[in-house]
Structure 1
Amino acid sequence: MDLKIVNYGAGNIKSIQFAFQRLGYNAVLSDNSAEIIKADKVIFPGVGEASSAMKMLKESGLDSLMPQLKQPVLGICLGMQLMCNHTEEGDTEGLGIFDTNVKRFSNRIKVPQMGWNTVKNLKSGLFNNIIEGDYMYLVHSYYAEHCNETIATSDYDIEYASALEHDNFFGVQFHPEKSGKTGERLLKNFLEL
């Protein structure tokens, strides 16, 4: 399987590559549009700040490529947030793949949310053999608002979209590569889509 990780300078790349290696797959880092278009599956990672990440994406020309991809694409953490319409982080326009916006958590709670949280209201093949209320690992100060494309939710002061799906695009707020057996199961499900 030709598995590409979009390389635009924002990401927790090594842990994602190791997670796929444990499943028996080699995930190759690429910023080459021709290579990414030909891949069987694409991972869109992201750790960092939204406006600078979007700037790097635009500089590489990958911002116009991403919405055109036809194969299954998985956005992780900031990757998922950049696939939304807009994020309050740096007042940044996103790729508009998911029809929702990203907001900052209220100051009345500890931010970032860091650690394990449950996922519920599971609605997609991405969650095959994952049980309602299973735990995933999260580190984030911003969240995607609940919308029609929500396929999982989590609670942290409010209920928010912890996973999204639109056509061939999937996004998860949590880090499956750091979420033990449950996260591994989700990555395996993604590979089997």
Structure 2
Amino acid sequence: MIGIVDYGRGNLRSVEKALEKVGFEAKIMTAPRDLQTVDGVILPGVGAFADAMEGLKQGEWIEPIVEFARSGRPFLGICLGMQVLYEVGEEHGEHAGLGLLAGRVVKFPPGRKVPHMGWNSVSLLQPSRLLEEIPSESYFYFVHSFYVLPEDSQDILGTSDYGIVFPAVVGKDNVWGAQFHPEKSSPWGLQLLSNFGKLVNEYAALSSN
């Protein structure tokens, strides 16, 4: 079972429907106690970094989410949900993130229209279970004004180019992030969600033995 975190900042139903379309059971979680009933988690997000962290704080999600991710269970952040995986966001001042990945979230430099909105190709840099069967230079749908600067370049699985090259997919151990919206990026976005679902099922099977 895949849980989708409802903290008032994401396209929950569209993510749930996309997972169902590729054959994986998902549920929208409205309270941290729901984390005890799932084997993998997706953290969606739309809006501003500080606003997202405030929503997680008000819902008392922060510590349970960090504990869940550090337990080794599969965890995927989408768009703003990817950005808050990092230590610091620079939108409207500096704000602490979840700190599951090392790095910062910064604004696109002047000279390009923001938000970066629409379809863009993703160059895959290294193999990952999350990206299996997805060709490099496949197109995905983006909507964002900030991007991540990971501390460790080994965490960058794929990049996109919007006047500057920025991380489009990141991952370390059991924690992954997609800057684009896979639920809006058929067919390759659905492939990514399917790959995540398989990782969740594998973890569930191993933990039940």
Asked whether the two chains share a fold, i.e. TM above 0.5, the reply is: yes
CA contact (8 A) 1:98 1:164 kept: no
Q: Amino acid of the residue matched to residue 155 of structure 1? A: D
Q: Amino acid of the residue matched to residue 55 of structure 2? A: M
For residues 16-64 of structure 1, the C-alpha deviation after alignment (integer angstroms, 9 at most, x for no partner) is 1111121123321113223213311111000111111111101111111
Q: Which consecutive residues of structure 1, in runs of 5 or more, have no partner in the other structure?
A: none
Q: Which consecutive residues of structure 2, in runs of 5 or more, have no partner in the other structure?
A: 200-209
Q: Amino acid of the residue matched to residue 184 of structure 1? A: L
- Which residue, out of 124, 133, 137, partners 1:121? 124
Aligned to 1:184: 190
RMSD of aligned alpha carbons: 1.3
For residues 142-187 of structure 1, the C-alpha deviation after alignment (integer angstroms, 9 at most, x for no partner) is 0011533111111111111111112211100000000011000000
Corresponding residue SS for 2:119 = strand
Corresponding residue SS for 1:5 = strand
Aligned to 2:76: 74
Q: Amino acid of the residue matched to residue 77 of structure 1? A: C
Separation in 1, partners of 2:65, 2:123: 28
Separation in 2, partners of 1:37, 1:160: 34
Shift of 1:107: 2.0
Aligned to 1:111: 114
Separation in 1, partners of 2:50, 2:115: 18
Corresponding residue SS for 1:185 = helix
Aligned to 2:202: none
Aligned residues: 192
Separation in 1, partners of 2:78, 2:149: 16
Aligned to 1:158: 164
- Which residue, out of 71, 75, 94, partners 2:97? 94
For residues 99-141 of structure 1, the C-alpha deviation after alignment (integer angstroms, 9 at most, x for no partner) is 1111101121111111111111342111100001111110000
Which 4+ residue blocks in structure 1 deviate beyond 4 angstroms? none
Aligned to 1:24: 23
Q: Amino acid of the residue matched to residue 184 of structure 2? A: K
